[in-house]
């Protein structure tokens, strides 16, 4: 049986005012009366030359005649004097006005502070129709309810020192409505040292390089939620998301034919803040942009993690762990992104092993493709149609773990502050449907309203 979800979202965000100094334009004083300009030249000019001046027309006077130029200027081009004044102003008052601005531009700020906040709240009407197994028995219970949710209440602070050091800290207060772990409230807490654009070092609590869709921020993801595979592999099994560790990364943009940009990342981490089991995670990812409109990404991941079936006390009692204390599992991702004018389209496939499943670690597969197109309908307003399709198999060893998901929507965006996101979602677990399937109770018809500050 299918799953249908109608989602409406509104997103509103406020950006802090720019700290860049405004350019100061100094208006020069008006020119003195014409009589004052003519006075210095009167004693040096013979009397007979001055007398015919009033009779002669402006065209008849030579351009170098000091007596005729003051009278001719107002009658020919009144704009000429103001246009020439800004060049003369610095000479008249050196050390003031523009000269002071030049000194400021020669000494840029050593640091920059950015403070931001985002609140995402909404409501939906939820309808869950339980599926039937091959024998006709109902799996799960029907559910009809409406709810209001606070998805995000995030505050972030970022400090940039020159072009070398940056520090970012962000906290998620929406999780305090439940009983969160420390890692659920702490989102970003890292420092980054930029030795070269192609070689940088990041240390702290940061998002690991797994899946292009996962790496996109909430404010730029065109759908509400990142999907079925993300819920299982990233949220439950911690193949992505944030963790404590160290990363070496870099990106260069030659912007020449065949090599528009190239990026790389390797990281070692452990999700210790969120209470992950003992072990270490390693991630690596490459992105290659042959042109400005095409980007190709590929990555791999490795987990050396404590076995969920092992006795934790016995495993921690000795430095040399018994082979039964841990598992070695792998993950991978591949994606292609197209971006031409208003079109944004991406195709992605992800693989990972389920290290929590019984005494084996079966592979899971997720594939998603989506596209949006921005139509300009005003100076600040865009309409963004959206289509998305997803397939997920949480256990490639069995046939009762597949599901498909389809999303269609028409987003309305006003600058970066407001997003209205009406969307329809349809989720279908594939037959044969059993309780083994993760998505047997995912059939939802709802209305979602999202506000982002």
Write out pLDDT tens, residues 65-112: 443 344 434 444 444 444 444 444 444 444 444 545 555 555 678 889
pTM, 2 dp? 0.73
pLDDT at 445 over 70: no
Higher pLDDT, 298 or 273: 298
CATH superfamily of 4-18+111-452: Porin (2.40.160.10)
CB atoms within 10 A of CB 319: 5
3-state secondary structure 52-65: CCCCCCCCCCCCCC
Instruction: Give the angle 177-183-186 at the CA atoms, nearest 5°.
Output: 75
| Cis before 309 (ω within 30) | no
Q: CA dihedral defined by 349, 355, 357, 361, rounded to 10 degrees?
A: 70
pLDDT tens digits, residue range 394-437? 999 888 889 999 998 888 888 877 788 888 888 888 877 777 77
pLDDT at 348 over 90: yes
Higher pLDDT, 254 or 133: 254
Q: Which helix (H) or strand (E) holds 14?
A: none
Domain boundaries, the chain: 4-18+111-452
| DSSP characters over 27-50 | PPPPPPPHHHHHGGGTTTS-HHHH
| DSSP characters over 430-450 | PSSP-TTSTTTT---------
pLDDT at 361 over 60: yes
For residues 245-271, give the mean pLDDT. Answer: 94
Q: Are 238 and 306 in contact (CB under 8 A)?
A: no
pLDDT at 213 over 90: yes
Tokens of 244: 């404590």
Taking the alpha carbons of 178, 224, 186, 157 in that order, is the dihedral positive or negative? negative
Q: Indicate the average pLDDT of the chain.
A: 77
| DSSP characters over 148-188 | EEEEEEEEEEEEEETTTEEEEEEEE-GGGGS---HHHHEEE
The pLDDT confidence band at residue 444, using thresholds 50, 70 and 90, is low
What's the distance, CA 448 to chain centroid? 22
CA distance 121 to 105: 42
CA distance 388 to 410: 12
């Amino acid at each position: 049986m299918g799953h249908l979800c109608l989602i409406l979202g509104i997103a509103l965000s406020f950006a802090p005012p720019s700290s860049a100094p405004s350019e100061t334009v100094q208006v020069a004083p008006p020119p003195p009366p014409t009589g004052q300009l003519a006075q210095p030249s009167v004693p040096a000019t013979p009397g007979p030359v001055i007398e015919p001046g009033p009779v002669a027309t402006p065209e008849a006077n030579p351009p170098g005649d000091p007596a005729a130029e003051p009278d001719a200027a107002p009658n020919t081009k009144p704009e000429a004097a103001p246009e020439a004044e800004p060049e003369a102003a610095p000479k008249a008052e050196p050390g003031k006005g523009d000269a002071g601005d030049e000194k400021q531009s020669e000494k840029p700020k050593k640091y920059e502070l950015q403070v931001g906040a985002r609140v995402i709240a909404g409501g939906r009407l939820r309808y869950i129709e339980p599926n039937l197994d091959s024998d006709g028995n109902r799996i799960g219970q029907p559910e009809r309810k409406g709810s209001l949710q606070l998805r995000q209440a995030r505050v972030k602070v970022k400090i940039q020192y020159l072009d070398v050091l940056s520090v970012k800290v962000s906290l998620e207060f929406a999780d305090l409505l439940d009983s969160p772990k420390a890692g659920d409230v702490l989102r970003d807490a890292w420092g980054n040292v930029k030795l070269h654009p192609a070689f940088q070092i990041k240390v702290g609590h940061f998002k690991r390089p797994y899946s292009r869709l996962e790496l996109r921020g909430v404010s730029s993801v065109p759908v509400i939620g990142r999907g079925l595979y993300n819920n299982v592999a990233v949220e439950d099994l911690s193949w992505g998301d944030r963790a404590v560790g160290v990363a070496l990364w870099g990106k260069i943009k030659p912007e020449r034919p065949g090599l528009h940009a190239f990026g790389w990342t390797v990281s070692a981490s452990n999700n210790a803040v969120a209470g992950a089991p003992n072990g270490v995670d390693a991630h690596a990812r490459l992105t290659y942009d042959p042109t400005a409109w095409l980007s190709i990404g590929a990555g791999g991941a490795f987990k050396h993690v404590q076995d969920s079936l092992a006795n934790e006390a016995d495993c921690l009692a000795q430095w040399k762990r018994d082979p039964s204390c841990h598992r070695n599992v792998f993950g991978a991702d591949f994606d292609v992104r197209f971006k031409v004018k208003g079109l944004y389209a991406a195709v992605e496939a992800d693989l990972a092993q389920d290290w929590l499943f019984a005494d084996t670690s079966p592979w899971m597969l997720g594939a998603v493709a989506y596209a949006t197109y921005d139509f300009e309908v005003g100076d600040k307003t865009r309409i963004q149609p959206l289509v998305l399709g997803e397939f997920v198999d949480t256990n490639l060893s069995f046939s009762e773990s597949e599901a498909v998901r389809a999303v269609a929507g028409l987003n309305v965006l006003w600058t970066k502050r407001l997003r209205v996101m009406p969307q329809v979602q349809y989720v279908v677990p594939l037959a044969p449907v059993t309780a083994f399937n993760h998505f047997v109770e995912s059939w939802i018809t709802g209305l979602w309203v999202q506000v982002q500050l």
